Chain A
Amino acid sequence: AQKITQTQPGMFVQEKEAVTLDCTYDTSDQSYGLFWYKQPSSGEMIFLIYQGSYDEQNATEGRYSLNFQKARKSANLVISASQLGDSAMYFCAMRGSFWDSSYKLIFGSGTRLLVRP
């Protein structure tokens, strides 16, 4: 069975500093995708970044980067130069089993990030 684990229920970071949100995953598939979504208080899920299991380089999107360590099965999100607007819930997710062909997302329990001014 596939599983995503986020061990940090809540985190604080000072504005303009960098923060790392942890994510570990478990799968027996060789091909999979890892995603990070942001959910502000408005409730909408906003896609941030994607990492494919065969990608050799860590994904980056603006201030977001994904620290992908395949052997350790971790996919931590790094947010550089935190802004007040980064305060939100962050979810790590994995695309479902290649064999069931549904590509449903399996989500972790989330990390609530609060950026302090």
Chain B
Amino acid sequence: GAGVSQSPSNKVTEKGKDVELRCDPISGHTALYWYRQSLGQGLEFLIYFQGNSAPDKSGLPSDRFSAERTGGSVSTLTIQRTQQEDSAVYLCASSLGLGSYNEQFFGPGTRLTVL
């Protein structure tokens, strides 16, 4: 079966522009996570969805970041008025549920470069 997919794989944008990053989780996975990987900060949690709701938004770095999930499937991470410090690889992961064993399957990531 298909794994987690993300698009685009690479995105170059100018400072101040808005960007949308997409994640397609594994079919049937109810939990979806967004992480960011940058040189200075390592891997950091951004937001998580259970179904279409986001109970934990604690990792969003600013109000320029938002995310939504529709139909319990596809998720979009939106960054408004991008800044150079937003440059990073954005990773999406999904898991079957929130059981005590919670293997998260990761997508290939979207590399965002803000000029």
Contacts and interface: CB of A to CB of B under 8 A. Distances in A.
Interface of A: 31, 33, 35, 37, 42-47, 50, 52, 91, 93, 95-96, 100-110
The B interface, classified by DSSP as helix, strand, loop or mixed, is: strand
A47 B103 contact: yes
Contacts of A95: 102
A43 B109 contact: yes
Given A100-B56, A102-B48, A105-B45, A45 B103 contact: no
Interface of B: 31, 33, 35, 42-45, 48, 55-56, 59, 89, 91, 93, 95, 98, 100-109, 111
B98 A103 contact: yes
Contacts, number: 63
6 contacts: A33-B102, A44-B109, A95-B102, A107-B44, A108-B42, A110-B42
